Structure 1
C-alpha cells in the first residue's frame, strides 16, 4: 500500500471506518501479504528500499540500519510485523507491556483536521503472557525494543524485573517508563534508577536500556531525571543508562493526543537534553513526525532517532522511506565529496544505453516509414511468394492491416528508445540504483521478446540484425554504477504539490500495468489465434480465407503481433519502474521522459487506425483509456516534478 495508493484510494475508504477497525483491517491485510511466500519481495519491489550504510546508527551495542522506528501502539498485536520491517523502519518498538491485560475500555479517535490520534489509554496492551506467546512465534529480523510499564507503587521495581525476565530472549533493548508516582526531586530517584539498571542488567547483560520521559515533563522533574541518569563512574554495580526516549502523548480532556502538536514540546526537551547527556547516550524522539521536515527539525535539535506513530496513519506507509531519504541527503552534504573521475564517463558505461536508445529510435523511424509506404520488405515478399501489390489488389484491407501492426510496433520502438536515452543521460550517468534496475529489467525483457517473433516459425532478418547490433550496447551499459539513492534534495513537505503528485504517480503506475497487461495479451494472441474478432470484421474475411489465399500470411502477421506485444511489455516495464521509483519532486527529466516516451506510441496507434479506417470503438477502447490516464498523469505530476516547491524551504 504505497503512498500513491494509500493517499488517493485507501485512506479515504479506511477513514470511513471506526479507527480501531480500520487499523486492524489494514494491519491484517498488510501482514497477510508480508507472510505470503512472495510478500516481502512484492513490498520491497514497490518500495525499492535501497539505502546506504550512511544512515546506520547504534543504541548501545545494537546496530540500527535506519534512524526511523515504529511506535508500539500502532501494531499492538503484531499482525504486520514482517511486512512493516520492509518499508524503511530501522527498529520496532513493542509495547508498552504490563503484567496484566489493559485492553478493556480502550478507545481510539481521529481528529483529521489536526492529523491527530486520541487514545483513552496509551498503555493499553494484552499483557505480558499473551505478548510472550506471540514473540515465540515471531520471525521478525529488525531490532526490537520492548517498552516496559509498571504500576505506580512500591512494587514497580519488582514488576519491571519480572517483565524483563519473561521477555529478555526476544528483546534487543528496553524502553522503560518511569513510574511517575516516584519522587523526582531527591537522591532516592537516583538510587532507585541505579538499582533498576543493575537488576535489569543481571537479567540479561549488555542489553541497552533507555528511560522514557513524558512529553510534558516540567523542568524540575527533568533536571532530577538527568542527574539520576548521569553515569556513575565510581560504581561498577550501577552503570549509566544508554539514553532517553521522549514520549509522544499530550494529556487533554479527550484523552492522550498524539500528532503534530507534539513537535513543539519535543523541540523544547531536545534543547535541554542534548548538551547534558554523556557521550554515547542516545535520544529517541517519538513526538511530532507527520512529514520528513518534522524529522529533520527534531534531529537537528538533537534527536538521534525518530519514531513514527500518527504520522504513519495520516501521511502513509511511504513516510519512513521519505524520512530516511531526507536524513540521507543531509548526511550526504556533510560526507566527503567524491573524487574527480569517480563518476563513469559516457563511453565507459552509461553512454551505451543512450546509444541503444538512439538505435531504437532510428530503427523505429525506419520501420514507420516502411509501414506507411511499401509495408513489406523484399525478404517478406520472398517468404510469402507474392508481392505486396498483388495482396493489395486482391484484398486491399489486408495490407493496410499489416501496416497497422507495423506502425504501432514502430511507435512503441521509438517510445522505448526515448526512455532508454533519458534513463542513460539522467539516471545511469548519476549512478542511480533505481534507473539501472529499470534499464536492466526492461532491456532483458526486450531482448528476450525477440523469440516471440519465432512463434509461428517466421524468422525476420531485420529484427535479428537489430538485436545483434544493439545487444552489445546493452551489455556495455551494465558497467554503469548503480549505487546511489538520490542526487537532489528529496521532498520534505506534505504540501498540495506532493498530494497531486501522488495522484499523478497513481495514474502512471496504472498506465504501466495497463501496458503490461496489453503487451502480454497481444503477445499471447500473436502466438495463438493471431486475430481478435474485430480484426476479422475489419478484414471482411476469416482466418481460413486468409490461409486459402496465402498460407504464409498468418505466420507473417503473427510475428508482427507477437513482436509488438513484446515491445509493449518492454515499454511497460520501463514506464512502471520509473513510475514506482523515479518520481521525486523537482526531477524535471522524469516528466519529460513520460511526455516524450508516450507521444510516439499514442500517435502511432491512433494515426494508423484513422488512416486505414479501422476505428472500431471497442477495439480502440483500451487505447482511449490509456490516453486518458496518460494525460491525467502528466497534468497531475507537472507541479510536483517541474517545480522545486517545498524543497527550497529548508535548503
Structure 2
C-alpha cells in the first residue's frame, strides 16, 4: 500500500471506518501479503524502499540500517511487522510491554483536522509472555527495541518491582537489541518526589544487574512528552551515562479524561525537550524523538534540534506507508548537501552509450514510420512473399493499410522507447540512480529477446536483426562500471496539496504503465498464436484461411509485425511503469517532459493511423482511448509537482 494508493484510494475509505476496524483490516491484509510466497518481493517492488548504505549507523554496537524506527504503538499486535519492516525502517520498537495483558474495547478516535490519534488506553498490549514469544520468533531482521512499562495503576514501589521483573525477562534475550524503560511517569504524583524516587531506585538496580555480559543491553530512559520541564531537568542531570545510553522522548499527551493523544501538534514540545536534554544532560546521550513526524520536514527539524534517531507513529497513519522512505531520502539529501558532489562519469564511460541507443531507436522509428506510411513493404518482404506490392494490394484492398497500421504503431513505439532511454541515460544513468538503471535493465531485458517471438513462423527480418546486433553492445557498454550513487537532487519535504495531487498523477501513470504492459503481452501473444482478433477480420473482410490460400506467407509476415509490436510495447510500458513507481520526484522537470515526449509518439502513431486507414472500430480502440485519457490526466496532475520551481530543502516544519 504505497502512498500513491494509500492517499488516493485507501485512506478515504479507511478513515470512514471505526479506527480499530480500519487498523485491523489494513494490518491483516499486509500481514497476509507478506506471508505468501513472493509477498515481500511485491512489497519491495511497489515501494522500492531499499535504503542507501550511507544511512547506516552504529548504536552501542547495534547496526541500524536507517535512523528511522517504527513506534510500537503502530502495530501493537505485531500482525504486519514483516511487511512494515520492508518500508525503510532501521529498527522497530516493541511495546510498551507490561507484566500482564492490558486490553480495551473502547474505540480509538482519529481527528484528521489536527492529524492526531486518541487512544483510550496508552498501555494496551498482550503482556510479557505473548510478546516474549513474538520477540524470540521474529519474522523480520530489524533490531528490536523493547519498551517495558509498569502497570498503569502501580504506585512507585510496585512500578519498580514491575520494571525489575520485566528487565529480568527481556535483558538476556538475544533478539532484544535495547531496552527502553519507563522509569519516569508524568502520571505519578510529584507530592513525595515519587518519579525521582522511582528513577533513582531503578538506576541503582540497573547499575547492579545490567553489567553482566549476557544482560549488557543499551538502556534508554523513556521521557513522557508531557513531563514537566523542571522534573525533566532533574532527571537528565542525575542520569548516569554508564547506565543510560540515551533518552527516548515519547509522543503522547495525557488528557483529563485519561485518554492519550498523539499527533502532529506534539512536535514543538518534543523539540523543547530535545533542547533541554542537550543542555542539562551529562555527556552526549543518544536521543530518540517520536512526536509529530508527519512529513520529512518535521524529521529534519527534530534532527536539527538534537535528535539522533526518529520513531514514526501518527505520521505513519496520516502521511502513509511511504513516509519512512521520504524521511530517509530527506536525511540523506541533507547530509550529502554538505559535501561536494563527485564529478559525473564521462559520456563514453557508460551512460553515453545508452544515449546513443536511444538516438538509434528514434532514428529507426522515424525511418520505419516513413516506410510504413509509403511503400509499407521492404524488398526483403516482397522477396519473402514472392509477390510485389501491387500483387499484395490486389489480394485485398485493405491488406496493405492493415500492415501499415501495424508498422506505424511499431514505429511510434520505437520513438517512445528511444526518447525514454535517452532521458533515462542523461538524467538517471549519468548520476548512478538505481531506479533508472533498473528501468533500463528490465526494459531492454524484455525488448531484445522479443526479436525471437516471431521466428517460429519462419520469417527472419534482417533489418530488425541488424538493429539488434548494433544496439545490444551499446546497452551492455552503458551498464558497465556504473555503481549505484545516491540521489543528490532536492527531495519532497511537505505533505502539500501539490504532493497529494502528484500522487493522483502518479497513480494515473502507474495505470498507464500497467495497462500498456497488459496490452503488450496480449498483442505479443496474439501475434504468435491467432495473429488476428475478430475486429481485424472484420476490417479486412477476409478470414485467415483466405489469406493462407492467397499466399501462405502472408500470415507469418503479419505475425512478425504484431509480435514485434507487442514486444516493443511491453518494453516501453515496463520503462514507464518503473519510472512511475520509483522515480518521480518533486521538481524533477525532466521527468514531466520525458513522460510527455515519450508518450506522445505512441499515441499519435496508434490513433492517427487507425483513422487514416478507416479502422475505427470502437471496441478495438477503446483500450487506447482509456489509456490516453488516463495519460492526459496524469500529465495534468503531475505538472505542478514535477514542474515546480520550488526545489527548496528548508528544514522549517509546517
TM-score if structure 1 supplies the norm length?
0.96
Q: Which moved more, 1:517-526 or 1:185-194?
A: 185-194
Measure how far apart 1:429 and its partner are: 1.1
Give the Cα separation in 1 of the matches to 2:245 and 2:356. 55
Q: Which moved more, 1:529-538 or 1:155-164?
A: 155-164
Q: Does 1:598 align with 2:608?
A: no
Matching residue of 1:269: 273
What is the 5 A alignment of 1:337-486? 337-339=340-342, 342-479=343-480, 481-486=482-487
Matching residue of 2:246: 243
What is the 5 A alignment of 1:217-366? 217-231=227-241, 239-253=242-256, 255-279=259-283, 281-335=285-339, 337-339=340-342, 342-366=343-367
Matching residue of 2:579: 578
Matching residue of 1:69: 69
Matching residue of 2:10: 10
User: SS of the residue aligned with 2:428?
Assistant: helix
Note closer, same or farther for the CA distance 1:589–1:612 as it changes in structure 2 (3 Å cut).
same
What is the 5 A alignment of 1:534-573? 534-573=535-574
Corresponding pairs, count: 641
Give the Cα separation in 1 of the matches to 2:349 and 2:38. 36
Q: Which moved more, 1:409-418 or 1:58-67?
A: 58-67
Give the Cα separation in 1 of the matches to 2:364 and 2:261. 62
After superposition, the C-alpha distances for 1:402-426 in whole angstroms (9 at most, x for unaligned) are 0000000000000000000111111
User: SS of the residue aligned with 1:396?
Assistant: coil
Q: Does 1:514 align with 2:523?
A: no
User: SS of the residue aligned with 2:215?
Assistant: coil
Q: CA RMSD in A?
A: 1.7
Note if contact 2:301-2:651 (Cα within 8 Å) is conserved in structure 1: no
User: SS of the residue aligned with 1:615?
Assistant: coil
Note if contact 1:266-1:287 (Cα within 8 Å) is conserved in structure 2: yes
Measure how far apart 1:391 and its partner are: 1.4
Note if contact 1:156-1:179 (Cα within 8 Å) is conserved in structure 2: no
Matching residue of 1:190: 200
Matching residue of 1:489: 490
User: SS of the residue aligned with 1:455?
Assistant: helix
User: SS of the residue aligned with 2:238?
Assistant: helix
User: SS of the residue aligned with 2:387?
Assistant: coil
Give the Cα separation in 2 of the matches to 1:20 and 1:208. 33
Give the Cα separation in 2 of the matches to 1:37 and 1:188. 48
Note closer, same or farther for the CA distance 1:480–1:426 as it changes in structure 2 (3 Å cut).
farther
Measure how far apart 1:200 and its partner are: 4.0
User: SS of the residue aligned with 1:114?
Assistant: coil
Note if contact 1:49-1:88 (Cα within 8 Å) is conserved in structure 2: yes
Give the Cα separation in 1 of the matches to 2:416 and 2:110. 46
Give the Cα separation in 1 of the matches to 2:397 and 2:4. 48
Give the Cα separation in 1 of the matches to 2:309 and 2:212. 27
Give the Cα separation in 2 of the matches to 1:611 and 1:187. 87
Matching residue of 1:236: none
User: SS of the residue aligned with 1:360?
Assistant: helix
Matching residue of 1:166: 169
Instruction: List gaps (5 residues or longer) in structure 2.
Output: none
Give the Cα separation in 1 of the matches to 2:2 and 2:508. 13
Q: Which moved more, 1:472-481 or 1:510-519?
A: 472-481
Give the Cα separation in 2 of the matches to 1:177 and 1:189. 9
Q: Which moved more, 1:548-557 or 1:102-111?
A: 102-111
Give the Cα separation in 1 of the matches to 2:113 and 2:127. 33
Note if contact 2:184-2:224 (Cα within 8 Å) is conserved in structure 1: no
Measure how far apart 1:40 and its partner are: 1.5
Measure how far apart 1:432 and its partner are: 1.1
Measure how far apart 1:188 and its partner are: 7.3
Measure how far apart 1:294 and its partner are: 0.5
Give the Cα separation in 2 of the matches to 1:358 and 1:646. 30
Give the Cα separation in 2 of the matches to 1:591 and 1:224. 55
Note closer, same or farther for the CA distance 1:136–1:189 as it changes in structure 2 (3 Å cut).
closer
Note closer, same or farther for the CA distance 1:85–1:197 as it changes in structure 2 (3 Å cut).
farther
Q: Does 1:175 align with 2:166?
A: no
Matching residue of 1:21: 21
Q: Which moved more, 1:7-16 or 1:612-621?
A: 7-16
Give the Cα separation in 1 of the matches to 2:418 and 2:464. 15
User: SS of the residue aligned with 1:306?
Assistant: strand
Note closer, same or farther for the CA distance 1:386–1:185 as it changes in structure 2 (3 Å cut).
closer
User: SS of the residue aligned with 2:552?
Assistant: coil
Give the Cα separation in 1 of the matches to 2:283 and 2:88. 27
Note if contact 1:184-1:224 (Cα within 8 Å) is conserved in structure 2: no
After superposition, the C-alpha distances for 1:23-51 in whole angstroms (9 at most, x for unaligned) are 01111111111122211111112222233
Note closer, same or farther for the CA distance 1:42–1:368 as it changes in structure 2 (3 Å cut).
same
